[in-house]
Amino acid sequence: MKVGLLGLPESGKTTLFNALTRSDAAVNTFGGRRDEIHLGSVPVPDERFDFAVRVCVPKSRVPAMLEVTDGGAKVDVSQSREKFGADFFAGVRNMDALVLVLRAFESESVLAPDGGIDPRRDAERVLAELLLADLVVAEGRLEKLEKARVLKRITPAESAERLVMDRVKAHLDELKPIRTLELSVEEDRAVRSFAFVTAKEVILAANVGENDLQGSPLCASLREYAAEIGVPIIEFCAKLEMECAQMEPDEEREFLGAMGVSEPARDRLIRAAYAALGYISFFTVGEDEVRAWTVRDGSTAVMAAEKIHTEIARTFIRAETMAFEDFRGAGSWDAAKAAGKMRLEGKEYLVKDGDILHIRNSKG
C-alpha cells in the first residue's frame, strides 16, 4: 500500500515522514531546498502477526508494509506564492491514498502564511487543485475521442470509454471528486489508466501544536469540513511524534501517554488508511515463515492466492482456512486443526480479516 504526503510549504510533511518511518530526513526551513524525495516503509502494527511469530518462531517474519513518499508531490514557491506544477500531479498519480498535511500550529520560528493559519482554507485549496487537474485530463481525453469519432476512427472500446469519460467530466464539473462517483467494474477498468488523483482516498492530517493535543481550536472548522466531504481526519503534533519516534517502543508509549496521547500518529494513520481503502489482512503461518498480506475487503480465496503468487492462483485447488481467533485459542495451527477449526474453502470464498490461509494447489 502506497501513501503520499502532500501539503503546502511549512505544513510539516517531512516531519511527519520522519515520525512515521523513524527516519531522520532533513526538515527544510522556508525557502530552502525542496527537491528531495524521501521514500520509507512502515511495518503495519498488528498484534495478531506478533502472536503468530511468538507461536511459530519462524525463520522469516514479514509484516505488512506501508510505503510512504514525501516530496513526490511538489509545490513550488515563488515570491511567497504557492504554485502547483506538473511535477506535483505526476508525483501523486501512482499513490493508493493521499495524506494531506495541514498546518494547524502557531510558531515564532516559522512565519504564518498570508491570511493567517487556516487548515480548512488550505485543505479546500489543495483539493480544488486536484479536482482541476483531473478535469483537464478528462477534457483533453474527450477532445481526442471526439476527433476520432468525427473521423470515424473510434474503436468500440474507445466508444465505451467516451461514455464513461462523459460521466467523469460531468461529475467533476459539479465540483465532486471521482471517488464519490459510482462506477461499475467495467467503467472503472475503462478509465483506470488515467490514474485520476481525485479517485484516490484522502486523509486529512492536521499538524497541531504541543499544547493542542487534546483538541486544537484551529481545527474546529476543519473537522466540520472533513465530515462534510466524508474523509477521515487525524490530529497530531508532528514535531513531538518525530522526537519520540527515535525512542524504544516502550519508552515511546510511556512518553506519549504522559502527553495524553493514547497511540502514535503512525498507528492512527495506518488504521485510517486501511479503513479508507477498504483493506484487510490475512496471514500465512508456519515454521519457515509468518507473513501478513493485504487485500481489499471482498477479495476471494483465489485473489488472495494470487497475492501470494500468480502460479499458486492459477493452480488453485482449495484453501485451508482458519479464523485467527481459533488459531489463538488453540495455541497453534495443528492444535486448532485437530479441534476441527480448519475448513476447506473454494475459489469463491470471501476472505475475512484475520483469516489464516494455506493454499492447496496442483503444483504442491
Residues ≥6 apart with Cβ < 8 Å to 195? 93, 94
pLDDT tens digit string along 110-124?
777 778 899 999 999
Domain residue ranges in the chain = 2-45+63-115+199-277, 129-198, 298-361
Length of the chain: 364
Query: Which superfamily does CATH assign the domain made up of 298-361 to?
Result: Beta-grasp domain (3.10.20.30)
In three-state secondary structure terms, 359 is: strand
Rg (CA), the chain: 23
Q: What is the pLDDT of residue 34?
A: 54
- Distance, in Å, from the CA atom of 109 to the CA atom of 308, rounded to the nearest integer, reads 49
- Distance, in Å, from the CA atom of 197 to the CA atom of 127, rounded to the nearest integer, reads 10
Grid coordinates in use for 340?
Answer: 476441527
Q: What is the pLDDT of residue 118?
A: 94
pLDDT tens digit string along 34-65?
567 888 999 999 999 999 999 999 999 999 99
Architecture of domain 129-198: Orthogonal Bundle (1.10)
Q: What is the pLDDT of residue 194?
A: 92
Q: DSSP string covering 14-58, please?
A: HHHHHHHHT--PPPPPTTS-----EEEEEEPP-HHHHHHHHHH--
Average pLDDT for residues 343-349, to the nearest whole number?
Answer: 96
- Distance, in Å, from the CA atom of 285 to the CA atom of 358, rounded to the nearest integer, reads 8
Q: What is the pLDDT of residue 255?
A: 86
Percent of the chain with pLDDT over 90: 68
Percent of the chain with pLDDT over 70: 92
Q: What is the pLDDT of residue 31?
A: 44
* More confidently predicted of 202 and 249: 202
Instruction: Classify domain 2-45+63-115+199-277 at the CATH class level.
Output: alpha beta
Asked whether the predicted pLDDT for residue 109 surpasses 90, the reply is no
Asked whether the predicted pLDDT for residue 22 surpasses 90, the reply is no
* More confidently predicted of 252 and 184: 184
